[in-house]
Amino acid sequence: ADMADSAKSVILKQVKNGIAIRMAVLYLLLGGKEREAFA
């Protein structure tokens, strides 16, 4: 756990980003509407 919590570790950032990506993909697959970039 000490290595994962160290300042040089990117594991926690990767896990956090991976969850966000999976949530976004599931949202779109379940019929969510993609926002327009320049609305």
Query: pLDDT digits over 1-34, tens only?
Result: 677 677 677 888 888 888 989 998 999 899 887 6
At 13 the pLDDT is 82
At 38 the pLDDT is 58
Kindly report the pTM of this predicted structure.
0.50
Give 3-state DSSP helix, strand, coil % of the chain, rounded to 5. 50, 0, 50
